[in-house]
Amino acid sequence: MNICEIEEDELLDIKFSEDPDKYFKYYHEIMNSNLSILRIYYSICESNNLKKKIKARINNNYYCDCAFHRADDLPFRIVDEKKFWGCYGCGYSGSIITLISKFYDISIEESLELLYSYLTNEIAELNEKQIDIFKEMFQYYNSPSIDKLFLESQRKTELLDERIKRYIKTNNFCLEEEKIADRLCCSKKHVKKIIHKSL
Ligand SMILES: [Zn+2]
């Protein structure tokens, strides 16, 4: 499964029952906002006493227990930067919007309204069920333990970047992305980015 492909596909698959202009506007504003899917996921897990193992990874990529199936191998991936998630175990994937719609069994429109309300600080338009979900989704959103995870991930990314730069230098500016990625156990894409920055 390629998380980048999901991003392209999802918008095409969404069929709004009414007022598509409004909901597409919501979609774009949410996707371009600083809302964090990882924070929301953390808050949902915390509110529902779900067992979760969110592991800090580099570049705001996180592996967690899936909210939709039981597994011990952490196949659930969250790409916080892109507000996307995908589970290699049960095969479900999507954006921050579909995560909420699927978890709470509400429509895509209701999910968009919920997130948009958070951005605009306006919950008056929400129905009773949405308000309950809203409270649950954001109850632990700013918890200090999730801040720690973000810091850890940031620190790991900086360390890796330093190692890549050092590797390039000590190997006579070897620019073989695949080899470096292999040696330092990271993605080729990330190595490419660092090489590009260092040149
Ligand atoms: Zn799953």
CA of 69 to the centre of ligand 1 (A): 5
User: Which CATH number does the domain housing residue 40 bear?
Assistant: 3.90.580.10
pTM of the model: 0.81
81: tokens are 């930067």
Same domain, 134 and 164: no
Q: pLDDT by residue for the chain (199 residues), tens digit each?
A: 444 444 545 655 677 778 888 998 999 999 999 999 999 999 998 998 887 778 888 877 898 888 888 877 778 889 998 899 998 888 888 899 999 999 999 999 999 999 999 999 988 889 999 999 999 999 999 999 899 988 988 898 899 889 888 888 887 666 688 888 888 777 788 888 887 877 6
Looking at the 3D structure of the chain, how many domains does it have?
Answer: 2
Same domain, 20 and 105: yes
Same domain, 51 and 103: yes
CA of 159 to the centre of ligand 1 (A): 31
For ligand 1, a single-atom ion, which residues have Cβ within 5 Å?
66, 68-69, 87, 89-90
Torsion of CA 122, 6, 100, 140, to 10 degrees: -80
Range of the domain at 182: 147-198
Name residues whose C-beta falls within 8 Å of residue 175's C-beta, 6 or more positions apart in sequence: 168, 195
What backbone phi and psi angles, to 5 degrees, belong to 175? Answer: -115, 30
